[in-house]
């Protein structure tokens, strides 16, 4: 009997440590809408640094509750067209932003890194407005995302050993995104990644317009230099630095 009681007490003591307690106003997006696809790049090696960023202990999308509820409304609209949102980044711990700054100043520039910024030196990405030293992502009010055509073959997987073309190349040559062709890959620091660029095809333009319009109907504003980046005015506040762990 004492053994059973002791085991129960131990479980009670351990269980809270396994689940992340979020600050007021933050939620796991999967608790709001589990149908929204998540591919949180900074929790993996599939990003411009080639490694997980500080603070990303799990590939979980964390946002302010209002942001999550509005994303759910966008998802419900898109579902009628056999489309889905795919989240690339949501809340970003301040330590991850500092990690990006350190990466930009390390004096190295690998071929894999150049895939994301083929036209610029990485030390210039902050000055040019492609990466921010103080990110709205850290307030929980900004997200990076794309569209997935649920009727298409989205089985292509990223292979870190593969020698892909840079992010401005045709979709068949660059790293697989498992999403519609927006004209560039995610996190492409290039003029072609600007939302309103004239350097993309009519089909790619329609996909971008579809995403921007669906997000705008729920109050989200796009960042002109990144077709994937949106924020919800008024939903932010202070920047946070709590690490991301699994929802459950």
Q: Supply the pLDDT for residue 20.
A: 65
Q: Supply the pLDDT for residue 4.
A: 38
92: number of Cβ within 10 Å = 30
Distance, CA of 136 to CA of 33 (rounded, Å): 22
Average pLDDT over residues 183-207: 97
The residues pairing with 230 across neighbouring beta strands, listed in sequence order, are: 143, 222
Q: Supply the pLDDT for residue 246.
A: 87
- Token couple for 123: 């030390």
**Strand, helix or coil for residue 181:** coil
Q: How confident is the model at residue 65 (pLDDT cuts 50, 70, 90)?
A: very high
Average pLDDT over residues 215-240: 96
Q: Supply the pLDDT for residue 24.
A: 78
Note the pLDDT tens digit of each residue in 85-114.
Answer: 999 999 999 999 999 999 999 989 898 899
Q: Supply the pLDDT for residue 164.
A: 96
Q: Supply the pLDDT for residue 18.
A: 46
């Amino acid at each position: 009997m004492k053994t059973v009681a002791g085991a129960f007490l131990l479980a009670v003591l351990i269980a809270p440590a396994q689940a992340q307690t979020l600050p007021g106003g933050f939620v796991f997006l999967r608790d709001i809408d589990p149908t929204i696809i998540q591919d949180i790049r900074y929790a993996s090696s599939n990003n411009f640094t080639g490694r997980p960023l500080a603070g990303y202990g799990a590939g979980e999308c964390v946002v302010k509750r209002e942001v999550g509820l509005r994303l759910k409304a966008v998802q419900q609209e898109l579902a009628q067209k056999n489309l889905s949102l795919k989240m690339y980044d949501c809340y970003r711990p301040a330590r991850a932003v500092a990690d990006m700054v350190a990466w930009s100043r390390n004096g190295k520039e690998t071929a894999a890194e150049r895939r994301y910024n083929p036209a610029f030196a990485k030390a210039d990405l902050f000055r040019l407005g492609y990466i921010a030293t103080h990110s709205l992502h850290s307030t929980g009010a900004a997200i990076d995302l794309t569209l997935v055509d649920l009727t298409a073959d989205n089985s292509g997987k990223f292979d870190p050993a593969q020698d892909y073309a840079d992010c401005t190349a045709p979709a068949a040559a660059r790293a697989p995104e498992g999403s519609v062709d927006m004209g560039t890959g995610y996190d492409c620091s290039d003029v072609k990644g600007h939302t309103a660029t004239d350097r993309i095809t009519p089909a790619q333009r329609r996909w971008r317009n579809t995403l921007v319009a669906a997000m705008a109907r729920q109050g989200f504003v796009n960042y002109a230099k990144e077709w994937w980046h949106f924020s919800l005015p008024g939903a932010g506040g202070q920047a946070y630095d709590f690490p991301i762990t699994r929802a459950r």
